[in-house]
Amino acid sequence: AQTVTQSQPEMSVQEAETVTLSCTYDTSENNYYLFWYKQPPSRQMILVIRQEAYKQQNATENRFSVNFQKAAKSFSLKISDSQLGDTAMYFCALAMDSNYQLIWGAGTKLIIKP
Amino acid sequence: DTAVSQTPKYLVTQMGNDKSIKCEQNLGHDTMYWYKQDSKKFLKIMFSYNNKELIINETVPNRFSPKSPDKAHLNLHINSLELGDSAVYFCASSQLTGNTEAFFGQGTRLTVV
C-alpha cells in the first residue's frame, strides 16, 4: 500500500526566514509523481510544485524548491524568503501511473509571523 | 475563468435532510473526484469517476451517492445527513494518465446541525 507521511503537524517561522517541510512516502512502483499543495485560509487548494520520480533534478518554482531523495523516499519542500501569504496548510501527495488516486499526507500547518 | 467550480460554498442543514453539492470543471479532464476533509484537515478520497464511470468508491456510507451526468460534472448527493457528515468537501479533476496533477474546487463547508 502507498502511504504519505508528514511528521510536522505545525510549524511557524519569522517572515523572510527559510523553512523546510518534510514528507516521506512509500510505494513499490517505479513511475510516480509527487506534489506539494497549499491550502490557505480561503480553503482553495493550490499546486505549489511537482516532481516526476524519474527526474533526478529537484524541481523549483521561484521561492519554492524540493529536496527529492528517491532512495530514502523523501520529498521535502523548502520555502525561501517566507512571506505572510505563505501561511497555509501544506499537503504532500503521491500519484502513481497505475491508478487515478492521489495519496495525501495529513498536512502541515505553516504560520509565517511578521 | 474558474477551472473547477463547486456549489454551494457553504451549506448548513439539519440532521435527516437530503442535500446535493454540485461540481463542474471546464478543463476537459477525464477524471473527477470527491474528497472529504475532516476537522483535522486530513483529506480522504470518497469517489472517482472517469468518463462518467465510477472507478474508485472508497468506504463511505451508502447515503453518499455521486452522479456524473457528463464528464464535466460530478455531483454529490447525501441522504439522511448526520452530524458526522460535517466537513469540507472538495471536488477535483485531473487527466486520465498518471501525471495526475489535480485541480481543486474551492470546497464546500457542510455543517449538519
pLDDT digits (tens, 9 = 90+) for B61-76: 999 999 999 989 999 9
Spell out which residues of chain A touch residue B40, defining contact as CB-CB under 8 Å.
Answer: 106
* Among A39, A100, A109, beta carbon nearest to B56: A100
Cell, residue B69:
451526468
Q: What is the pLDDT of residue A79?
A: 98
Which residues constitute the domain of residue B75? Answer: 4-112
Contacts of B48 in chain A (CB under 8 A): 100-101
Number of domains in chain A: 1
CATH code for the domain of B35: 2.60.40.10
Residue A46: CB atoms within 10 Å? 13
Closest approach of chain B CAs to the CA of A17, in angstroms? 25
What is the number of structural domains in chain B?
1
Supply angle C-alpha A1, A64, A91, rounded to 5: 35
What gap in Å lies between CA B20 and CA A87, rounded to an integer? Answer: 31
Does residue B112 have a pLDDT over 90? yes
A54: domain CATH number is: 2.60.40.10
Q: What is the pLDDT of residue B15?
A: 97
Which residues, including other chains, have CB under 8 Å from residue B87's CB and lie 6 or more apart? B36, B37, B38, B39, B109, B110
What would the mean pLDDT of B35-52 be, rounded to a whole number?
Answer: 79
Q: What's the pLDDT tens digit per position in A68-100?
A: 999 999 999 999 999 999 999 999 988 877 665
- Sorted by sequence, the CB contacts under 8 Å of residue A110 that are 6+ apart come out as A10, A11, A12, A13, A19, A21, A79, A86, A87, A88, A89, A90
Chain B contact set for A100 (CB, 8 A):
31, 33, 48, 50, 55-56, 94, 96, 100
Show residues of chain A in contact with B11, CB under 8 Å. Answer: none
Average pLDDT, chain B: 86
Element (H, E) at B20: strand B19-25
**Domain encompassing residue A51:** 3-113
Min CA distance, B60 vs chain A (Å)? 16
Question: pLDDT value at position A87?
Answer: 95
Q: Give the model confidence (pLDDT) of A20-46 as tens digits.
A: 999 999 999 888 889 999 987 766 678
